[in-house]
Chain A
Amino acid sequence: QSVLTQPPSASGTPGQRVTISCSGSNSNIGINYIFWYQQLPGTAPKLLIQKNNQRPSGVPDRFSGSKSGTSASLAISGLRSEDEADYYCAAWDDSLSGQHWVFGGGTKLTVL
Protein backbone atom coordinates (compact mmCIF):
# COMPACT_ATOMS: atom_id res chain seq x y z
CA GLN A 1 0.00 0.00 0.00
CA SER A 2 1.64 3.23 -1.17
CA VAL A 3 1.63 6.35 1.01
CA LEU A 4 0.59 8.47 -1.98
CA THR A 5 -2.59 7.34 -3.73
CA GLN A 6 -2.93 7.35 -7.49
CA PRO A 7 -5.55 5.81 -9.76
CA PRO A 8 -4.15 2.59 -11.21
CA SER A 9 -5.11 3.51 -14.75
CA ALA A 10 -6.05 6.38 -17.01
CA SER A 11 -6.73 6.65 -20.71
CA GLY A 12 -7.37 9.09 -23.49
CA THR A 13 -7.38 9.48 -27.23
CA PRO A 14 -4.75 11.37 -29.21
CA GLY A 15 -5.14 15.11 -28.81
CA GLN A 16 -7.14 14.83 -25.59
CA ARG A 17 -6.23 16.24 -22.20
CA VAL A 18 -5.90 13.80 -19.34
CA THR A 19 -5.19 14.33 -15.68
CA ILE A 20 -3.69 12.00 -13.11
CA SER A 21 -4.29 12.63 -9.44
CA CYS A 22 -2.08 12.00 -6.43
CA SER A 23 -3.45 12.14 -2.91
CA GLY A 24 -1.30 12.39 0.18
CA SER A 25 -1.38 13.88 3.64
CA ASN A 26 -0.20 16.77 5.77
CA SER A 27 3.15 15.09 6.31
CA ASN A 28 4.06 14.91 2.63
CA ILE A 29 2.19 16.76 -0.12
CA GLY A 30 0.65 19.14 2.38
CA ILE A 31 4.00 20.63 3.36
CA ASN A 32 6.50 19.56 0.71
CA TYR A 33 6.95 19.69 -3.04
CA ILE A 34 5.42 17.08 -5.32
CA PHE A 35 7.39 15.54 -8.16
CA TRP A 36 6.21 13.48 -11.13
CA TYR A 37 8.00 10.75 -13.05
CA GLN A 38 7.30 9.10 -16.38
CA GLN A 39 8.43 5.52 -16.88
CA LEU A 40 8.35 4.10 -20.38
CA PRO A 41 8.29 0.30 -20.64
CA GLY A 42 11.62 -1.27 -19.78
CA THR A 43 13.32 2.01 -18.88
CA ALA A 44 14.28 3.94 -15.78
CA PRO A 45 11.93 6.64 -14.52
CA LYS A 46 12.38 10.12 -15.96
CA LEU A 47 11.74 13.29 -13.94
CA LEU A 48 8.79 15.02 -15.58
CA ILE A 49 7.69 17.71 -13.13
CA GLN A 50 9.68 19.07 -10.19
CA LYS A 51 8.71 21.27 -7.26
CA ASN A 52 4.96 21.04 -7.97
CA ASN A 53 4.86 22.63 -11.40
CA GLN A 54 8.32 23.11 -12.90
CA ARG A 55 9.34 21.29 -16.05
CA PRO A 56 12.98 20.19 -16.28
CA SER A 57 14.77 21.16 -19.45
CA GLY A 58 13.55 19.14 -22.41
CA VAL A 59 10.11 18.26 -21.05
CA PRO A 60 7.38 19.49 -23.42
CA ASP A 61 4.98 22.12 -22.15
CA ARG A 62 2.15 19.65 -22.79
CA PHE A 63 2.97 18.38 -19.32
CA SER A 64 1.96 20.46 -16.32
CA GLY A 65 1.63 19.96 -12.60
CA SER A 66 -0.41 21.50 -9.84
CA LYS A 67 -0.90 21.10 -6.13
CA SER A 68 -3.65 22.02 -3.72
CA GLY A 69 -3.59 21.11 -0.07
CA THR A 70 -2.71 17.44 0.25
CA SER A 71 -3.43 16.56 -3.36
CA ALA A 72 -1.68 17.10 -6.66
CA SER A 73 -2.37 16.54 -10.33
CA LEU A 74 -0.43 15.92 -13.49
CA ALA A 75 -2.05 17.11 -16.68
CA ILE A 76 -1.09 16.04 -20.17
CA SER A 77 -2.58 18.01 -23.02
CA GLY A 78 -2.47 17.15 -26.71
CA LEU A 79 -2.07 13.49 -25.82
CA ARG A 80 0.30 11.55 -28.07
CA SER A 81 0.92 7.84 -28.50
CA GLU A 82 4.41 8.19 -27.03
CA ASP A 83 2.88 9.39 -23.77
CA GLU A 84 1.71 5.84 -23.07
CA ALA A 85 3.67 5.01 -19.92
CA ASP A 86 3.47 4.63 -16.17
CA TYR A 87 3.38 7.85 -14.16
CA TYR A 88 4.44 8.17 -10.53
CA CYS A 89 4.15 10.99 -8.03
CA ALA A 90 6.71 11.41 -5.25
CA ALA A 91 7.19 13.62 -2.23
CA TRP A 92 9.35 14.02 0.84
CA ASP A 93 7.56 12.90 4.00
CA ASP A 94 8.13 14.42 7.41
CA SER A 95 6.36 12.11 9.82
CA LEU A 96 6.86 10.56 13.23
CA SER A 97 8.49 7.58 11.53
CA GLY A 98 11.21 9.87 10.23
CA GLN A 99 12.02 11.82 7.10
CA HIS A 100 11.82 9.78 3.95
CA TRP A 101 10.72 9.77 0.32
CA VAL A 102 7.37 8.31 -0.64
CA PHE A 103 6.07 7.32 -4.05
CA GLY A 104 2.58 6.80 -5.38
CA GLY A 105 1.45 3.42 -6.62
CA GLY A 106 1.70 4.55 -10.22
CA THR A 107 -0.85 5.20 -12.96
CA LYS A 108 -0.72 3.33 -16.24
CA LEU A 109 -1.71 5.69 -19.03
CA THR A 110 -3.14 4.13 -22.16
CA VAL A 111 -3.49 6.11 -25.37
CA LEU A 112 -6.47 4.63 -27.19
Chain B
Amino acid sequence: QITLKESGPTLVKPTQTLTLTCTLSGFSLRTTGVGVGWIRQPPGKALEWLALIYWDDDKRYSPSLKNRLTITKDTSKNQVVLTMTNMDPVDTATYYCAHRPDLGAFDVWGQGTMVIVSS
Protein backbone atom coordinates (compact mmCIF):
# COMPACT_ATOMS: atom_id res chain seq x y z
CA GLN B 1 0.00 0.00 0.00
CA ILE B 2 1.43 3.34 -1.08
CA THR B 3 1.36 6.11 1.50
CA LEU B 4 3.02 9.50 1.76
CA LYS B 5 3.29 11.76 4.78
CA GLU B 6 4.31 15.40 4.82
CA SER B 7 6.15 16.97 7.72
CA GLY B 8 7.56 20.39 8.45
CA PRO B 9 6.94 23.59 10.37
CA THR B 10 3.42 24.89 10.84
CA LEU B 11 4.54 28.50 11.16
CA VAL B 12 7.28 30.34 9.31
CA LYS B 13 8.17 34.00 9.26
CA PRO B 14 8.22 36.14 6.14
CA THR B 15 11.54 35.94 4.23
CA GLN B 16 12.42 32.61 5.88
CA THR B 17 13.06 29.40 3.97
CA LEU B 18 10.51 26.61 4.25
CA THR B 19 11.69 23.00 4.28
CA LEU B 20 9.12 20.24 3.91
CA THR B 21 9.77 16.50 3.99
CA CYS B 22 7.67 13.82 2.33
CA THR B 23 8.21 10.33 3.73
CA LEU B 24 7.32 7.54 1.32
CA SER B 25 6.05 4.08 2.07
CA GLY B 26 5.02 1.19 -0.13
CA PHE B 27 7.09 2.22 -3.13
CA SER B 28 10.60 3.24 -4.08
CA LEU B 29 11.89 6.22 -6.00
CA ARG B 30 14.39 3.81 -7.53
CA THR B 31 11.58 2.33 -9.63
CA THR B 32 11.74 3.39 -13.27
CA GLY B 33 9.14 5.96 -14.22
CA VAL B 34 8.06 6.86 -10.70
CA GLY B 35 7.96 10.41 -9.44
CA VAL B 36 6.92 12.41 -6.39
CA GLY B 37 5.38 15.83 -6.66
CA TRP B 38 4.42 18.70 -4.41
CA ILE B 39 1.13 20.56 -4.74
CA ARG B 40 -0.23 23.32 -2.51
CA GLN B 41 -3.65 24.78 -1.79
CA PRO B 42 -4.20 28.15 -0.11
CA PRO B 43 -7.25 28.22 2.17
CA GLY B 44 -10.41 28.24 0.07
CA LYS B 45 -8.45 28.33 -3.18
CA ALA B 46 -7.42 26.03 -5.99
CA LEU B 47 -4.67 23.46 -6.21
CA GLU B 48 -1.31 24.71 -7.47
CA TRP B 49 1.41 22.34 -8.65
CA LEU B 50 4.90 23.21 -7.38
CA ALA B 51 7.51 20.62 -8.29
CA LEU B 52 8.16 17.04 -9.38
CA ILE B 53 11.17 14.77 -9.03
CA TYR B 54 11.62 11.56 -11.02
CA TRP B 55 13.31 8.28 -10.19
CA ASP B 56 16.32 9.32 -12.31
CA ASP B 57 16.65 12.66 -10.43
CA ASP B 58 15.17 14.67 -13.28
CA LYS B 59 13.24 17.62 -11.87
CA ARG B 60 10.47 19.93 -12.99
CA TYR B 61 9.31 23.16 -11.39
CA SER B 62 6.40 25.54 -11.64
CA PRO B 63 7.54 28.30 -14.02
CA SER B 64 6.21 31.00 -11.71
CA LEU B 65 8.02 29.66 -8.63
CA LYS B 66 11.09 27.93 -10.01
CA ASN B 67 13.47 30.58 -8.70
CA ARG B 68 12.34 29.84 -5.15
CA LEU B 69 11.98 26.05 -5.21
CA THR B 70 14.36 23.13 -4.83
CA ILE B 71 13.26 19.50 -4.77
CA THR B 72 15.58 16.67 -3.78
CA LYS B 73 15.30 13.01 -2.89
CA ASP B 74 17.02 10.67 -0.50
CA THR B 75 16.22 7.18 -1.67
CA SER B 76 18.01 5.59 1.28
CA LYS B 77 15.61 7.35 3.62
CA ASN B 78 12.61 7.12 1.25
CA GLN B 79 12.17 10.86 1.49
CA VAL B 80 11.60 13.79 -0.82
CA VAL B 81 12.39 17.30 0.39
CA LEU B 82 11.02 20.57 -0.93
CA THR B 83 12.57 23.90 0.00
CA MET B 84 10.95 27.24 -0.78
CA THR B 85 12.89 30.42 -0.15
CA ASN B 86 11.73 33.91 0.75
CA MET B 87 8.38 32.88 2.18
CA ASP B 88 5.54 35.40 2.08
CA PRO B 89 2.08 35.42 3.68
CA VAL B 90 0.59 34.55 0.27
CA ASP B 91 2.42 31.22 0.54
CA THR B 92 0.14 30.22 3.41
CA ALA B 93 -1.38 26.95 2.26
CA THR B 94 -1.77 23.25 2.78
CA TYR B 95 1.17 21.54 1.11
CA TYR B 96 0.67 18.04 -0.29
CA CYS B 97 3.11 15.52 -1.66
CA ALA B 98 1.85 12.88 -4.06
CA HIS B 99 2.98 9.74 -5.88
CA ARG B 100 3.17 9.88 -9.64
CA PRO B 101 3.26 6.50 -11.40
CA ASP B 102 4.91 6.01 -14.74
CA LEU B 103 3.05 8.00 -17.43
CA GLY B 104 0.31 8.93 -15.00
CA ALA B 105 -0.83 11.73 -12.79
CA PHE B 106 -0.74 12.02 -9.01
CA ASP B 107 -2.65 8.99 -7.85
CA VAL B 108 -1.91 8.80 -4.13
CA TRP B 109 -1.67 11.92 -1.98
CA GLY B 110 -0.45 12.57 1.51
CA GLN B 111 -2.80 14.09 4.06
CA GLY B 112 -1.20 17.50 3.62
CA THR B 113 0.50 19.83 6.04
CA MET B 114 -0.69 23.35 6.77
CA VAL B 115 1.95 26.08 6.63
CA ILE B 116 1.19 29.57 7.88
CA VAL B 117 3.46 32.46 6.98
CA SER B 118 3.21 35.21 9.55
CA SER B 119 5.45 37.41 11.62
Stretch of A17-25, A64-72, A76-84, A93-101 contacting B (4+ beta carbons < 8 Å): A93-101
Interface size (A, Cβ < 8 Å)?
A: 24
Given known pairs A102-B49, A104-B46, the reply for A90 and B105 (CB within 8 Å) is yes
**Is A106's CB under 8 angstroms from B60's CB?**
no
Contact A47 B107 (CB under 8 A): yes
CB-based contact B47/A106 at 8 Å: yes
Q: Does B48 make an interface contact (CB < 8 A)?
A: yes
Complex: A101 Cα to B46 Cα, angstroms: 14
Taken together as a complex, chains A and B put the C-alpha atoms of A51 and B107 apart, in Å, by: 12
Cβ-Cβ contact count across A and B, 8 Å cutoff: 57
Question: How distant is the Cα of A106 from the Cα of B44 in the complex, in angstroms?
Answer: 11
Q: Are B48 and A98 in contact (CB under 8 A)?
A: no
Shortest CB-to-CB span from B28 to chain A, Å, is 20
Q: Which residues of B contact A (CB under 8 A)?
A: 37, 39, 46-49, 52, 60-63, 66, 96, 104-107, 109-112
Q: Which 7 A-B pairs have the closest CB atoms?
A: A101-B49, A97-B63, A35-B105, A44-B109, A103-B47, A106-B46, A105-B46
Known interface pairs A44-B112, A50-B104, A101-B52; 7 further A-B residue pairs with C-beta atoms within 8 A, sorted by A's residue number: A56-B107, A90-B105, A98-B60, A99-B60, A100-B60, A101-B105, A103-B48
